[in-house]
Amino acid sequence: MSWIVRAPDRDLQRNEKKLYTRARRVLWDYEPLRASHAEIYIDVDDDRVRLRGRVRTQPQKLIASMLVERMPEVSTVVNELIADPDVVRAVADALAEDERTAAYVIRVDARHGVVILRGQVASDAVKEAATAVVSAVPVVASVRNQLTVGGDARPSVALARPTAAADVADPAAVSGARP
């Protein structure tokens, strides 16, 4: 896979073509983005730019936006890039919320929206449920289910909510003084 910038979905006006070409060059010149094989769509409407697609990290998402925002001819940048940690978080949340998969420790990894599930579950039904749950998450491009059957369900652990008193610092404890 190589670094990909998709062509615009519509014919651009002359000034929009120049802006598209310059934005593409600015993103291409940022080596970490290029080396990660990001897939980016650059949409241009007059002096507004919208970035869509997938990047590996949150910093890449933020830096891509900042690089384009710094261009003097750009008035607005809408950053709709999806970073892999966003995908992992959304998938982990979905698995934790589903009663069929919540009791299992399922490792989640993502690369450009392709989610890989690893771990052990108790049955093929749970394995299939995990695929169904993950496939329904909007930011997921596809699922590679590498779960193995044979794991036991683990009881959920509920942590107590911190009390308001925990937020109030004891001056003696902070200063190291003993009562």
Residue 40 and residue 76 in contact, taking contact as beta carbons nearer than 8 Å: no
* Mean pLDDT on 85-97: 96
User: Are 19 and 36 in a shared domain?
Assistant: yes
Distance CA 88, CA 110 (A): 6
Instruction: Using pLDDT thresholds of 50, 70 and 90, give the confidence band for residue 1.
Output: very low
Last-in-domain residue among 42, 65, 82: 82
Asked if residue 27 and residue 41 are part of one domain, the reply reads: yes
Instruction: Please give the Cα distance from 4 to 24 (Å, whole number).
Output: 10
Note the pLDDT of residue 170: 58
Residue 82's closest CA among 136, 45, 116, 41?
41
Give pLDDT tens digits for 153-175: 665 555 566 666 655 555 555 55
Q: Count of alpha carbons within 13 Å of 87, Cβ hemisphere only?
A: 29
73 shares a domain with 8: yes
Whether 46 contacts 77, CB under 8 Å: no
One domain for residues 51 and 113:
no
Q: Identify the residue with better confidence: 39 or 5.
A: 39
Tell me, yes or no, whether 66 and 108 share the same domain: no
| Full-model pTM | 0.74
**pLDDT at position 177, please?**
53
122 domain-assigned: yes
- Asked if 21 and 43 touch (Cβ cutoff 8 Å), the reply is no
Q: What tokens does 131 get?
A: 């695929």
Structure tokens at 64: 């891509």
14 vs 114, more confident: 114
64 and 75 both lie in a single domain: yes
Both tokens assigned to 82: 């999806």
Contacts for 111 with CB less than 8 Å, ≥ 6 apart: 56, 84
- 59 versus 162: the higher-pLDDT residue is 59
- Whether 178 has a pLDDT exceeding 60, the answer reads no
Q: Are residues 119 and 72 in the same domain?
A: no
In a domain, 114, yes or no: yes
Residue 43 belongs to some domain of the structure: yes
Two structure tokens written together for 41: 């769509």
Q: Is the residue at 159 inside a domain?
A: no
* Residue 159 pLDDT: 53
Residue 118 within any structural domain of the chain: yes
The band of 91, judged by pLDDT with boundaries at 50, 70 and 90, is very high
In a domain, 169, yes or no: no
Top-confidence range, 14-23, 120-129, 168-177 = 120-129
Domain of 127, CATH number, reads 3.30.1340
Domain that residue 122 falls in: 85-149
